[in-house]
Chain A
Amino acid sequence: MPWCLIDGKNVEFSDGATIIEAAGSAGIFIPHFCYHPGLGAPAQCRMCVVEVEGRTKLQTACSTPACEGMIVKTGSERVKQVQKSTMEFLLINHPLDCAICDKSGECMLQDNSYHYGDATMRTVEERRTYADLEMGPVIKKNMNRCIHCTRCIRFGEKVAGIAEMAAFGRGGSTEIATLDGAELKTPYAGNYSDICPTGALTLKDFRFKKRSWLLTKTAAVCEGCSRGCAIEVHHADGVVYRQVARENLRINRYWICDEGRFLYRYLGDPERVRQPLVSGNISDWVSAAGVAREMFNGGRVMVLAGEDLTLEEAKELLDFVRPAGAGIFRFGTPQVCAARDDGDEDMILRRKSKTSNLHGLQQLGISAFDGRPSGTVLVVRGGRAVIPDLGGCKVIGAGVFQGGETTDFEAVLPGRAFLEKGGSIVNCDGIEQRGVSVVPGPAEAKGLGDILRLLGRGGD
């Protein structure tokens, strides 16, 4: 492997790596704005300059390939001076309204200014302002904060496959906007907020809900479809405030779709069934479990397992159901009955199966529901699988349901959602991922194991 010397450290890099990548692999951070590993490096912001021995001018680390034997200095006096000037230049027109900006606390401009900028400003001129244009339901735009890094433009072109943003005007009055002021069309629009290094593009959904430094960040897996993208759940006091993309080069790289991003909403939906129900009325665990147990043990039973259950839960369910001699089938997305029906929905991430664990349940040998329910039906579900038509059967629900779905259920035993329990799911490429329990969930909800024990035994 070729090597180079960065800040006196011997760094090995693979062919074609840039200085910023080589430095990153050795744990040396070079401040940057326009470079993003998933979007390339147009070398526009000049924040990433480094000194390379033998070259008169400072080099942009994001676009200069590392070479064998190169000697790089990332913190020399010359570099520091240019970083200071770059920061000052970027802040000439920046409103510095961190107090009301949702990016505050996780803002690259803030961090780089703090670490590499000057504490004082020399400009006295009026700052440039723009009228804010609407950008559709996902993104809130505030062009005053933009530093023209063009990450958003490149995201549209290179990742979302739809060039909907462009830079208009020139020089200091450059404005980033959608073509003809149209609304954003891509179903991946939330990523604009993730990649924007400033608060120019923020999420409407998260607007003013919480300050970023008050959130606990937990790595998790998205259960929105069979892709199983890596996400980071941001939560505080047991409430999920948002989900953002987490890097996983094998699965989703740096992106997630909007459906997955906003999926957390069902956890806190006021319609969610949080207490045991008997014939649609709020009840307690003793009576609801009593009703369910009587139905379950009193005749022919069919068990329907949602494809949003984890592997652990599915195994538990199999161990419970098979000795009892009941039939067990899986259900999830209409028209996607098996792994072979599950294709790409677009060329980016989204899959046709809108449940997370179709592939896992199929591997466990659970066959798909054929649409002919019989006897008493026990529906076990994690909150996402679409409940099929159960035409006139008596139904017990166990797991996560919304109010409207359980109107003709005899009994509902509230369970935990994926972010509330954790567990393993298998994605469309057969990659098994384990999620952890991120938030505790409703006080009265129980894990599937406990629910099954209540169904099986008498009394307790």
Chain B
Amino acid sequence: MATRTRRVGPRKSLFHSIYIVDSFKGLWITMKYLLFRKKVTIRYPEERRQYSARFRGLHYIKTTNGVENCTACMLCPTVCPADCIHIEAGERADKEKYPVRFDIDIMRCCFCGMCEEACPKDAIKLSGVYDMSAAKRTVYDKEFLLVQRGNK
């Protein structure tokens, strides 16, 4: 059976079918935002946005008088749904248990903040830092996490 095409709706004139009026309507909206409204974009990276204090960005380990708060209790690796925290515990003279190694495989992290919530020592925190793109896979180690304080 041959296929038949049937036009639906009113027949349009040439003037209508090149959408000249609609194009100008659309352009007007663009111009309105360009000329009269407040800009929503910022000049990143020179300008930075201030996020809420509860924003969950790059991790850091808090210190008290220069000593890391973390006591390697392993609650954060236990709770982490992405399995991206790797800690090795050790013992030293001024601290019975401390993390010899503390690595966060940031590419796996989903920034859920569960680690921060689980920590009994207020040690692992998520800062406001959100730009952490890198050319290769990044694993943040303890040295980095201890100095990285973000904007907190």
A contact residues vs B (CB 8 Å cutoff): 98-100, 104, 207-209, 211, 213-214
Q: How far is the CA of A213 from the CA of B74 in the complex (A)?
A: 10
CB distance from B109 to the nearest CB of A (A): 19
**A208 and B72 form a contact (CB under 8 A):** yes
**B78 and A99 form a contact (CB under 8 A):** no
**B97 and A100 form a contact (CB under 8 A):** yes
8 Å CB contact of B71 from A99, A207, A209: A99
**B78 and A208 form a contact (CB under 8 A):** no
**B91 and A207 form a contact (CB under 8 A):** yes
Q: How far is the CA of A214 from the CA of B77 in the complex (A)?
A: 10
By a CB distance below 8 angstroms, the chain B residues around A99 are: 71, 73, 75, 97, 120-121
Please name the residue on chain A nearest to B123 by beta carbon.
Answer: A99
B89 on the interface (CB 8 Å rule)?
A: yes
By a CB distance below 8 angstroms, the chain B residues around A213 are: 78
By a CB distance below 8 angstroms, the chain A residues around B74 are: 211, 214
B22 on the interface (CB 8 Å rule)?
A: no
Q: How far is the CA of A104 from the CA of B97 in the complex (A)?
A: 14
Sample of 4 further A-B pairs with CB below 8 A, known A100-B97, A211-B73, A214-B78: A98-B73, A104-B73, A207-B91, A214-B74
Q: How far is the CA of A104 from the CA of B71 in the complex (A)?
A: 14
Please indicate which of the listed interface residues B89, B90, B121 has the most CB atoms of chain A within 10 Å of its own CB.
Answer: B89
**A208 and B73 form a contact (CB under 8 A):** no
CB distance from B146 to the nearest CB of A (A): 19
B contact residues vs A (CB 8 Å cutoff): 71-75, 78, 89-91, 96-97, 120-121
By a CB distance below 8 angstroms, the chain A residues around B78 are: 211, 213-214
**B91 and A208 form a contact (CB under 8 A):** yes
Q: How far is the CA of A453 from the CA of B72 in the complex (A)?
A: 48
CB distance from A237 to the nearest CB of B (A): 12
CB distance from B15 to the nearest CB of A (A): 73
By a CB distance below 8 angstroms, the chain A residues around B75 are: 99
Q: How far is the CA of A100 from the CA of B74 in the complex (A)?
A: 9
By a CB distance below 8 angstroms, the chain A residues around B91 are: 207-208
Q: How far is the CA of A242 from the CA of B64 in the complex (A)?
A: 34
Q: How far is the CA of A100 from the CA of B89 in the complex (A)?
A: 10
Contact sample, A vs B, 8 pairs, CB 8 Å cutoff: A99-B75, A99-B97, A99-B121, A208-B89, A208-B90, A211-B74, A211-B78, A214-B78
Q: How far is the CA of A98 from the CA of B91 in the complex (A)?
A: 16
Q: How far is the CA of A208 from the CA of B120 in the complex (A)?
A: 17
CB distance from B2 to the nearest CB of A (A): 68
Q: How far is the CA of A389 from the CA of B74 in the complex (A)?
A: 49
**B90 and A100 form a contact (CB under 8 A):** no
A100 in contact with B120 given A207-B91, A208-B72, A211-B74 (CB within 8 Å)? no
CB distance from A436 to the nearest CB of B (A): 27
Q: How far is the CA of A214 from the CA of B75 in the complex (A)?
A: 10
CB distance from A130 to the nearest CB of B (A): 14
Please name the residue on chain A nearest to B88 by beta carbon.
Answer: A208
